[in-house]
Amino acid sequence: MNVYDLMKIFIAGMILMACNEQQKPVDISYSAKLTDDKSRYEIGKVIEQPLASYIKLPGQLKPFEEVNIYARVNGFIQSVNVDRGSVVRKNNILLTLEAPEIESQVQAAMSKYTHAQENAAASKDKYKRLLEASKEAGAVAPLDLDNALSQMKADEAVMMAERSNMEAMNNIKSYLQVTAPFDGVIIQRNVSAGTLVGPGSKADIPLLVLQHLQKLRLEVFIPEAYVDKVDLKKPVKFTYSATPGEEHSAMISRSANALSGLRSEAVEIDINNKDQLLKPGMYAEVNIPLLSSASSLLVPNNAIVRSTERQYIVRVKDGKAVHTNIKVGLTTNDYTEIFGDIQRGDEIILHASDEIREGTPVK
């Protein structure tokens, strides 16, 4: 056996030893242990307890009363007695219109009423004379007396109709003077002397806009989830954006008792503004008190999965992951208030993510 044959035997032995090492059985118990560890999730529970004694919401000041003023008859503006910022009292004359045709109609109505008065007075005098003469037997025929009575009543009816027509025309004439319906401030003026105006409609620009500013309404919209939790017996605290350092307090004056299209209920707080330092349109930060017994369903902040389409948590039901859509409310450093198909004590996955699919086994 030469050296070449010895080398071939050595190489064959090395190859055989390598094959034996590759065929050694693998310890599958270790791999199973790794897989089992990766399938475990941190589990938490939904708790129920009061999260806060109040809810912080934005509010906006609005005038206590506001009206758009239009002309009630066609005519030309003769004079404007107010301008933007003018303080007016109830029944003050704001505008005076000029309408010659209305003046003519008023004169015609007065003439007809005067004529009807004369006819009614003549008929009444005639009836009285015939009635006096009828006391003598045969002096006046009964038919003539009845005709005189009927004529008197007819003339009196015509007189009353003409009087009503005259009063109606006088009322129309009074529309030529536009007066203030309440105390307030003119915030907008859209006309000048000589402008042709007529009865207003929603599509028309008002002649003037009047607001009552001595008293304001602070309007706040309460989300649907908190509507039944507001404590109406406690005062509301609020601060205005224009004066952030000053805190004010007042009671809720009224509520809409109905939800708007934004699924919220409007409440109003009456604000005294005699010095008129506050202006409609100002914003405020309002702390609405909640009932002390009002509890909320809370989950840790890290249990909520957020995407562009929805917010949800991953519940554990029958050992499987279940995605449950939620709406969030108040948030603290550790917990978030949630609303949805959730019950106290439900098990949820903490540190959840969108990688956990619906129906994933949870050990």
- Complete domains list, the chain, with CATH: 55-65+213-289 (2.40.30.170), 100-174 (1.10.287), 295-349 (2.40.420.20)
Q: What is the mean pLDDT of residues 171-194?
A: 93
- Res. 34 pLDDT band, cuts 50 70 90: very low
Q: What is the dihedral of CA 172, 177, 181, 184, to 10 degrees?
A: 170
Query: Which of 256, 261, 177, 269 has the alpha carbon at shortest distance from 217?
Result: 269
Range with the lowest mean pLDDT among 25-39, 288-302, 341-355?
25-39
292 vs 267: which has the higher pLDDT: 267
The proportion of the chain whose per-residue pLDDT surpasses 90, expressed as a percent, equals 48
CB 267 within 8 A of CB 46: no
Q: Identify which has the larger pLDDT, 138 or 15.
A: 138
Lowest mean pLDDT across 97-101, 246-250, 257-261 = 257-261
What pLDDT was estimated at residue 225? 81
Average pLDDT over residues 220-238: 88
- List the Cα angle 311/317/322 in 5-degree steps: 30
Confidence (pLDDT) at 37: 41
Reply yes or no on whether the pLDDT at 274 is more than 80.
yes
What single-letter amino acid sits at 86? S
DSSP 26-72: P-HHHHHHHHHHHT---EEE-EEE---SEEEEEEEEEEEEEEEE-BS
pLDDT tens string 233-244: 889 999 998 888
Q: State percent of the chain over pLDDT 70.
A: 87
User: Is residue 191 pLDDT above 80, yes or no?
Assistant: yes
pLDDT digits (tens, 9 = 90+) for 115-153: 999 999 999 998 888 888 887 877 778 888 888 899 999
Helix (H, G, I), strand (E, B) or coil at 272: strand
Residue type at position 89: R
Check pLDDT > 70 for residue 109: yes
Q: Cβ(247)–Cβ(282) under 8 Å?
A: no
Q: For 157, left (φ over 0), alpha (ψ -120 to 50), or beta? A: alpha
Looking at residue 140, the DSSP 8-state letter turns out to be S
Q: Which band of pLDDT confidence, cut at 50, 70 and 90, is reported for residue 294?
A: low
Q: Which residues pair with 20 in a beta bridge?
A: none
Which pLDDT belongs to residue 38?
41
Q: Which burial class, exposed, middle or buried, applies to 279 when counting CB atoms under 10 A from its CB (0-12, 13-18, 19+)?
A: middle
